[in-house]
Copies of this chain bind each other. A is one copy, B any other.
Amino acid sequence: MDYETPQFYRVMQYAARADRDVVEMVSGSPDWDPPEGVREGLREYADADASEFQYAPSRGLRGLRERIATRHGVDADRIVVTNGAGEANHLAMTGGLDRFDGDEILLADPVYPYYAGRANFRDAEATFVPVAEDGRLDPDAVRAAASSKTAVIVVNSPNNPTGAVYDAEAMAAFAAIAEANDALLLSDEVYERFDYTGRFAAALDLDSPNVVATNAFSKSMAITGFRVGYAVFPPTGELVERATTRHMLTNVSGSRPAQYAVERAMATTEPTYYEAARERLRSRIDRFCDALEAAGATYTRPDGGFYVLARFPDFPGTFENAERLIDDAGVAGMPGAAFGEARADWLRFSLTTPRVETAAERLVSYFG
């Protein structure tokens, strides 16, 4: 599997070129409006003094870092504001490989392809731990796979693509495994606002020197194009120092209009904004899972995030079948094969489209 060039675009382009109407359920870009504070922040910034158009501090605008620190109950010195969760994960993973012995990265299978791509690109050894039937990584399986060779263990909760959400007990187990093997637990919490169970547990609550949490406003504020994310490092120094240097030498600093708008939106966005997004998705999940049921599919109902994995009878999740589904049913999903082996027979559908109802009808009619 070539993870170095994530295959999302291949399927999206095929869908865009199709000779018929297609419901696009490939990309993970929210289809709803950002909070009004984002737009207001940009308008304000457009009229700002010229000095505000110059370099932000490398680790991010002070006010933004402080709001993030307050939200997570940590010291602002632990935070590096990054170019989205992408750079946050890059800094955390690379820092873990540099800091801890071993060159192995433990990843779930199915895996979000960018994690595996980064491991490949760094010539690290990626070891895949298959998730259990319910889509969750079993801590016992992670414990069995971890060893002194392990430098980084990656968990993502709520999970892309399985929809798994890890509770406090599971997160504590993952952190303990990292500590026992002198490794880093990288906890990617970018879908944190989309937990339908109330059981989501933040890795930072563990207060472990082996944990780095990454996050972004991309999904929560529906601004994947802004590239404002962050990593929260352990309080005692080396990881955050090294990440700060790498960030400075790679990017110098993040884009200031985007950081300014996010800072403004953090100050003004009401909890109802996030609740509304959650409710919208929950109702799409209900509708879509009903259709999967009617289509005779096996599926995992997500506890969080906005993806649904489904397996249709005699229709494995290959690129060929994804293309056939586009042409014959007018629904574009991501082949499970793009996420590894454990769900290679499945397809992933992103519920970030207002046309879930249409997609549901088409799938029932095609498979039902």
Residues of A with Cβ closer than 8 Å to B?
A: 4-6, 27, 29-34, 38-40, 42-43, 45-47, 50-56, 83-84, 86-87, 90, 114, 117-118, 121, 222-228, 245-246, 248-258, 261
Contacts and interface: CB of A to CB of B under 8 A. Distances in A.
B45 A29 contact: no
A251 to B, nearest CB: 4
Given A46-B39, A46-B43, A50-B32, A84 B5 contact: no
Contact of A224 (B34, B53, B251): B53
Copies of chain A in the complex: 2
B251 A87 contact: yes
A135 to B, nearest CB: 25
A7 B50 CA distance: 24
A53 B31 contact: no
B258 A225 contact: no
Contact of A43 (B38, B43, B248, B250): B43
Contact of A52 (B32, B40, B225): B225
Given A83-B255, A87-B251, A225 B46 contact: no
Given A34-B53, A50-B33, A255-B254, A118 B249 contact: yes
Contact of A42 (B31, B46, B56, B223): B46
B51 A87 contact: no
Nearest to A121: B249
B5 A250 contact: no
Contacts of A87: 250-252
A356 to B, nearest CB: 17
A344 to B, nearest CB: 23
Contacts of A30: 50, 54
Nearest to A252: B86
Given A29-B55, A34-B53, A251 B46 contact: no
Contact of A257 (B31, B90, B255): B255
A258 B260 CA distance: 12
A252 B9 CA distance: 12
